[in-house]
Amino acid sequence: MTDHLNELPAEADVVIVGAGPHAAALVMRLLLDPAHWGKDPNPPLDGFRKHPAKVRQHLRRPKRNPAWQHSLPKIVVIDKDGDWMLRWQKQFKAFEIQHLRSPEGLHPDPFEHQSLAVWAKMSGKEDSGFKYLDAMPKCHLYKGPFRLPNTDLFADFCKHLFSSFGMEAFKIYKGYATSLVAKSEENVEVLVEGLEDKCSASTIMAKHVIVARGPSSRRAWPQFREAMTSHEAKLLVHAWDLIDDNTSSGLAPDQCVAGSPSISAVLKDDTVIIIGGGLTSAHLCAAAARQGCADIHLFIRRDFKVKQFDLLLPWMGYNRWKSRADFEKMKFSERREVLLKAREGGSITPEMALILKDLHACHKLVIHENEEVISAKLVSSSPESPDSEFVTESCAACDGVNASRFTWQIITSEGAELLANHVWCATGSTVNIQSDPLLKSIVASHPIDHVAGLPCLSNSLQWGSLPIFFMGNMAALQLGPDAVNLAGALRGATRIAPELLASLCKMHKPKATSF
């Protein structure tokens, strides 16, 4: 349930920043009877840990945590899109993604990793709901599962979970959390700004804060953006901007809208430049091609890398327990090197690689490996300016400019010059507590160690002695290289839930009556 920001309460037991799969996994775990919590935080797995009949029973009616027999904790969720996993869904729809990259055992339900598969069968969607990885060979590193859920099935499943767990009891306020201020070691003030009225701000006092923002919360940009004028920088498009543009309003089919206005603006004769070597860049190439564009350039600063999953197989297969155990024995400074090595930068799935190769064979796509864009400037392309003079910061027309009036002039590390109508940066996200506005106050008042901007959190993902917990990429030094993925959502919830539940139960413990 979404509420307007001006209805934000003065205080809450828990404030959760973000309403994506990480936040959902934690809330479901708090609501479920701890006796029914799944014990394995390191999927994927083949087979069942619980009997399918018990899984079906759980899916019909999850066993409520007895701690909430009389009343639920006061949980407030702040999310820029205003609904459970709506940002996730908007990304799928904006880029028209058909299947998840994660296998079927990864989802927010804390009960059993096979819940999605069981639910698909219960719903009559098993035959149409999965993509089989027929081309992926079995080996000693990875022996399954070999099914990827399609995005519509996953959305339907999550929508069912939200309803069956009763998550509509927690209001989601559409807005941005912009600052965390520690008033004491028991109270954190959260400053929230609204999307509808960015000039207004409200505060809420929280006993606990969970920072569960997704990777699109902070954009990473190519270095050349630093040399741009403010107008040029404003017009440069990040992949996350294309997600922002998508107008889907929920997970139900009638709430979903495919594509993005910025993608729809691509014309047949346009030139599109895409920067990045990960899966998002491949989806953007395909999106431009669907618009009829036949002049697409993909710039990858490294080799074109194809992998089924975004981690090395030892982290996904039967050796994952050893990989995890070795990682957790390391010092924080050593763990960062493992994080970088395990992900190897951006990569593209074999399925999307085939699409790009077909586009390349049809001369619609040029893939520039080991080549970077080092400069991008706007030039005038109007008939009145045939000399294509550079647009300067003093150009009055740049205020509220229609970007279609101008063309980008691109210079690459190989000395090539190109003109393009659209430049899209699929350059991912950045994580650095030293530059994160949300954390500026607590970095100053309660500093903790960090490694290259990644915070050194406790085992329960807590920021020092403050009641602030982190999920996703901010917790990578604890959770490992899949911290940002669905596997990291499950593991993060497993780490945080016991301590958070104990604290909430202590707060809500009935007081003894004296006579």
Residue 384 has pLDDT above 70, yes or no: no
The 10s digit of each residue's pLDDT in 61-111 is 999 999 998 899 999 999 999 999 999 999 999 999 999 999 999 999 999
Beta bridge partners of 319: none
The 10s digit of each residue's pLDDT in 212-227 is 999 888 999 999 999 9
Structure token pair of residue 434: 């030293």
Residue 383 has pLDDT above 50, yes or no: no
Q: How many C-beta atoms surround the C-beta of residue 59 within 10 A? A: 21
Count: domains in the chain: 2
pLDDT band for position 311 (cuts 50, 70, 90): confident
Q: Does residue 21 have a cis bond before it (omega within 30 degrees)?
A: no
Q: How many C-beta atoms surround the C-beta of residue 462 within 10 A? A: 20
- Distance from CA of residue 494 to its chain's centroid? 19
Structure token pair of residue 86: 């709506």
Domain CATH number, residue 155: 3.50.50.60
246/152 same-domain check: no
Pairing of the two strands 406-412 and 373-380: antiparallel
205 found inside a domain? yes
| Of the residues 368, 402, 425, the one at which a domain ends | 425
pLDDT-wise least confident of 11-20, 199-208, 274-283: 199-208
| Of the residues 425, 454, 469, the one at which a domain ends | 425
445/407 same-domain check: no
Residue 387 has pLDDT above 50, yes or no: no
337 found inside a domain? no
Angstrom distance (rounded) from CA 434 to CA 431: 9
137/171 same-domain check: yes
46/183 same-domain check: yes
* pLDDT, position 196: 63
Angstrom distance (rounded) from CA 108 to CA 158: 8
487/381 same-domain check: no
pLDDT band for position 403 (cuts 50, 70, 90): very low
Angstrom distance (rounded) from CA 375 to CA 220: 16
Per the model's pLDDT, the better-predicted residue between 142 and 113 turns out to be: 113
* pLDDT, position 397: 34
146/123 same-domain check: yes
288/195 same-domain check: no
* pLDDT, position 199: 62
Burial of 306 (0-12, 13-18, 19+ CB in 10 A): middle
Residue 404 has pLDDT above 60, yes or no: no
Arithmetic mean of pLDDT over the chain:
89
Per the model's pLDDT, the better-predicted residue between 156 and 143 turns out to be: 156
Angstrom distance (rounded) from CA 105 to CA 489: 13
Residue 141 has pLDDT above 80, yes or no: no
250/393 same-domain check: yes
Q: What is the pTM of this model?
A: 0.92
Phi then psi dihedrals of residue 310, to 5 deg: -85, 5
Residue type, 149: P
Angstrom distance (rounded) from CA 221 to CA 491: 29
End-to-end CA distance of the chain, in Å? 42
- 467-485 average pLDDT score: 96
Residue type, 502: A
Are 26 and 461 in contact, with CB atoms under 8 Å apart?
no
100 found inside a domain? yes
Angstrom distance (rounded) from CA 481 to CA 470: 15
148 found inside a domain? yes
pLDDT-wise least confident of 140-149, 223-232, 330-339, 386-395: 386-395
- 364-387 average pLDDT score: 81
Angstrom distance (rounded) from CA 501 to CA 425: 41
Residue 47 has pLDDT above 90, yes or no: no
* pLDDT, position 142: 74
Give me the DSSP letters along 25-81.
HHHHHHHB-GGG-----S---SS-SS-HHHHHHHHHS--B-GGGSS----EEEEESS
- 309-338 average pLDDT score: 88
Phi then psi dihedrals of residue 411, to 5 deg: -120, 135
Burial of 510 (0-12, 13-18, 19+ CB in 10 A): exposed
320 found inside a domain? no
* pLDDT, position 313: 78
- 123-132 average pLDDT score: 93
DSSP 286: H
64/100 same-domain check: yes
CA atoms within 13 A on the CB side of 57: 8
- 145-153 average pLDDT score: 92
Angstrom distance (rounded) from CA 492 to CA 475: 8
316 found inside a domain? no
487/363 same-domain check: no
283/360 same-domain check: yes
150 found inside a domain? yes
| Of the residues 425, 459, 476, the one at which a domain ends | 425
- 463-467 average pLDDT score: 97
Residue 344 has pLDDT above 90, yes or no: no
Range of the domain at 30: 2-216+430-508
393/405 same-domain check: yes
Residue 448 has pLDDT above 50, yes or no: yes
Pairing of the two strands 296-300 and 365-369: parallel
Structure token pair of residue 288: 């431009």
294 found inside a domain? yes
